[in-house]
Amino acid sequence: MTIVFIGAGNLATNLSIAFKKAGYSILQVYSRTEKSARELSKKINCDYTIDINKLKKADIYFFAVGDKVIKKLLESNNFENKFIVHTAGSVSIDVFKDKSNNYGVFYPIQTFSKERIVDFKNIPICIEANNRDSQKLLENIVNSISDDLRIINSEQRKLIHLTAVFACNFVNHLYSISSDILKKGNISFDILKPLIIETANKIIDNDPKCAQTGPAVRNDNQTIEKHLKMLNDDNLKNIYKLFSDDIFRKMNG
Amino acid sequence: MTIVFIGAGNLATNLSIAFKKAGYSILQVYSRTEKSARELSKKINCDYTIDINKLKKADIYFFAVGDKVIKKLLESNNFENKFIVHTAGSVSIDVFKDKSNNYGVFYPIQTFSKERIVDFKNIPICIEANNRDSQKLLENIVNSISDDLRIINSEQRKLIHLTAVFACNFVNHLYSISSDILKKGNISFDILKPLIIETANKIIDNDPKCAQTGPAVRNDNQTIEKHLKMLNDDNLKNIYKLFSDDIFRKMNG
């Protein structure tokens, strides 16, 4: 099976490397940014182009670009007889309607960075397809890199993507906030790492509601007041208040 | 060395079990709540009391109770010739001033639940003492259960406790929010677990700022707008907006 990647970002990098390892032939990488295209093509040893009209003929075209870009590219090139697949959490499968006869979605639920190549084995991959043959093809591809295939429609996928923003991006931002606060006190962020790992591990076997600890859940207003006084950034004060109120409300409501 | 525990909550449970394993003799557990006192005393096979004036004579008294309760108990009993130690992140060591000649703080940076007994080996434990002998004693106790001893003063400890609220309690609340949203779509929370674990593992080797992904950091307003429309709870909308603004501001400011 031959593949062309449209996009050369975090997801394209991780996914193309996984596909190459699984034995697929990556023919080409397209990106608007020549630097990104060249870098990824080097990693997986294939051609690259920055001209959407110079895509090679392949069995499958993976769109790993933002929502707006998918639409633009679909207008600049004819994909009518091509099998096209996108990887975006919040984009409906219908973006491909009338653009091709065979299309689908391939959405791995994970956070990807170019510098950190992950193993797909335990990553849930959500697929959706416009017909049986397309679905069968996507199933085979998932099964070649992951043990966790999920058939998920566009509405469910949007919901999953929304929660991934809370459980990953916002969580990571809380790590970032903590790191900044510690820096001001000349304390290494390392000191929080065992706590961060345990907080994540704790919900593998427990409902997060039962796992909750800290001043908000035990309604310890004295500590909450002390903490609010220590924060001199209005955004952080708001985040602290909103979370403390919401934790108390959810645990007692 | 003999120990009396004042408090029978999450921390007291985990710490007393760790001490018992390390060979210390736990003589007694005090709690205002008879049920808690009895339950913990059963687990570690010792006596219990709900009368603060009936504490047994021991080498060291561990206060594992809330801030307000520490102050109350110090008034109801004379600890003058006793070695007293508290375990609260946000309470200064000075709470013990004029109450005893030997005192200190023993603050493990971790989230504890009664139902989940943790290993202290990799947990950073922050200690502070009012004199050399007290410090030496606390150092020995830390070293008997953990490889990560930290000498931390009250001001630094307050800062650490504040960041633990962000990096643990608020993080866990984001897990809880995600779980609730998925429930409404009849999707199992399990689907997010590999993402949650990777998000935590990612910051072990990377600065959280470099680890950030998602719509806010790439300024993908289309997805942000879609997500805000999907949230019909005002608190959640506010959390989503605050975080997205703050992520964008921090990454580009």
* Chain segment B179-223, per-residue pLDDT in tens: 999 999 999 999 999 999 999 999 999 999 999 999 999 999 999
**pLDDT-derived band at B247, boundaries 50, 70, 90:** very high
Residues 218-237 of B with CB under 8 A from A: 218, 220, 222-223, 226-227, 230-231, 235
| Cα A251 to Cα B234: distance, rounded to the nearest angstrom | 18
Tokens 């182009």 found at: A49
Tokens 């997205």 found at: B244
Q: Are B165 and A215 in contact (CB under 8 A)?
A: yes
What pLDDT shows up at residue A168? Answer: 98
Sheet with B47-49, side-by-side order of all strands: B47-49, B25-30, B2-6, B60-63, B83-86, B102-108, B125-129, B149-151
Q: Are A166 and B172 in contact (CB under 8 A)?
A: no
User: Three-state secondary structure along A38-90?
Assistant: HHHHHHHCCEEECCHHHCCCCCEEEECCCHHHHHHHHHHCCCCCCEEEECCCC
Report CB contact under 8 Å: A168, B214.
yes
Q: Are B55 and B31 in contact (CB under 8 A)?
A: no
Q: Cα distance from B57 to chain A (closest Cα, Å)?
A: 31
Residue B116: which H helix or E strand, with range?
Answer: none
Give the chain B residue whose CA is nearest to the CA of A88: B223
Residues 138-197 of A with CB under 8 A from B: 148, 150, 155-156, 158-179, 181-182, 184-185, 187, 189, 191-197
Beta bridge partners of B129: B104
Chain A environment of B201 (Cβ under 8 Å): 197, 200
**pLDDT-derived band at A46, boundaries 50, 70, 90:** very high
**Please, which residues have CB within 8 angstroms of residue A183's CB and are 6 or more apart in sequence?**
A189
Mean pLDDT of chain A: 96
Q: If you count residue pairs, one on A and one on B, with CB atoms under 8 Å apart, how many are there?
A: 314
Give the chain A residue whose CA is nearest to the CA of B243: A170
What pLDDT shows up at residue A28? Answer: 98
Q: Alpha carbon of B250 to those of A25, A163, B210: distances in Å?
A: 40, 22, 11
The angle at the Cα of A190, spanning B103 to A11, to the nearest 5 degrees, equals 155
What is the DSSP annotation of B9-68? SHHHHHHHHHHHHTT-EEEEEE-SSHHHHHHHHHHHT-EEES-GGGPPP-SEEEE-S-HH
**Is residue B173 pLDDT above 80, yes or no?**
yes
pLDDT digits (tens, 9 = 90+) for A140-152: 999 999 999 999 9
Mark residue A136 as left, alpha or beta (left: phi above 0; alpha: psi -120 to 50; beta: remaining). alpha
Q: Are A109 and A73 in contact (CB under 8 A)?
A: no
The widest CA-to-CA distance across chain B, in whole angstroms, is 66
**Is residue B95 pLDDT above 90, yes or no?**
yes
| Cα A239 to Cα B242: distance, rounded to the nearest angstrom | 7
Among the partner-chain residues A169, A223, A250, the one whose CB lies closest to the CB of B67 is A223
* Coil, strand or helix at B102: strand
pLDDT digits (tens, 9 = 90+) for A52-81: 999 999 999 999 998 889 999 999 999 999
**pLDDT-derived band at A241, boundaries 50, 70, 90:** very high
Report CB contact under 8 Å: A170, B172.
no
| Pick from B68, B45, B47, B44: nearest CA to B57 | B47
**pLDDT-derived band at A249, boundaries 50, 70, 90:** confident
Residue A165: which H helix or E strand, with range?
Answer: none
User: How many CB atoms lie under 10 A from the CB of residue A80?
Assistant: 10
**Please, which residues have CB within 8 angstroms of residue A35's CB and are 6 or more apart in sequence?**
none
**pLDDT-derived band at B251, boundaries 50, 70, 90:** confident
Residues 98-127 of A with CB under 8 A from B: 109-113, 115-116, 118, 122-124
ipTM associated with this complex: 0.97
Chain A environment of B115 (Cβ under 8 Å): 206, 210
Q: Cα distance from A60 to chain B (closest Cα, Å)?
A: 25
How large is the average pLDDT for residues B146-163? 98
pLDDT digits (tens, 9 = 90+) for A203-232: 999 999 999 999 999 999 999 999 999 998
What pLDDT shows up at residue A32? Answer: 95
Distance of CA A182 to the CA centre of its chain: 28
| Pick from B64, B80, B82: nearest CA to B17 | B64
**Is residue B238 pLDDT above 80, yes or no?**
yes
pLDDT digits (tens, 9 = 90+) for B44-70: 999 999 999 999 999 999 999 988 899
Residue B81 phi, psi (nearest 5): -105, 20
pTM score: 0.96
What pLDDT shows up at residue B43? Answer: 97
What pLDDT shows up at residue B66? Answer: 86
Cβ of residue B90 closer than 8 Å to a chain A Cβ: yes
Mean pLDDT of chain B: 96
Q: What is the CA radius of gyration of chain B?
A: 22
What pLDDT shows up at residue B40? Answer: 98
**Is residue A252 pLDDT above 80, yes or no?**
no
What pLDDT shows up at residue B67? Answer: 82
**Is residue B25 pLDDT above 90, yes or no?**
yes
- Which among A36, A168, A219, A237 is the top mutation candidate for probing chain B, defined by the most B β-carbons within 10 Å of its own β-carbon? A168
Report CB contact under 8 Å: B195, A166.
no
What pLDDT shows up at residue A67? Answer: 82
| Cα B96 to Cα A112: distance, rounded to the nearest angstrom | 49
The angle at the Cα of A224, spanning A167 to A249, to the nearest 5 degrees, equals 55
| Cα B212 to Cα B216: distance, rounded to the nearest angstrom | 9
Tokens 């409501």 found at: A253
Among the partner-chain residues B166, B182, B199, the one whose CB lies closest to the CB of A163 is B182
Q: Cα distance from B174 to chain A (closest Cα, Å)?
A: 6
- Which among A67, A175, A224, A228 is the top mutation candidate for probing chain B, defined by the most B β-carbons within 10 Å of its own β-carbon? A175
pLDDT digits (tens, 9 = 90+) for A159-171: 999 999 999 999 9
**pLDDT-derived band at B250, boundaries 50, 70, 90:** confident
Report CB contact under 8 Å: B214, A164.
yes
Quickly list H helices, chain B: 10-21, 34-44, 67-76, 132-145, 154-164, 171-184, 193-205, 208-211, 221-230, 234-252
| Pick from A125, A120, A65, A60: nearest CA to A91 | A65
**pLDDT-derived band at B249, boundaries 50, 70, 90:** confident
What pLDDT shows up at residue A92? Answer: 97
Q: Alpha carbon of B228 to those of A165, B48, B217: distances in Å?
A: 12, 52, 16
What pLDDT shows up at residue B51? Answer: 96
**Is residue B253 pLDDT above 80, yes or no?**
no
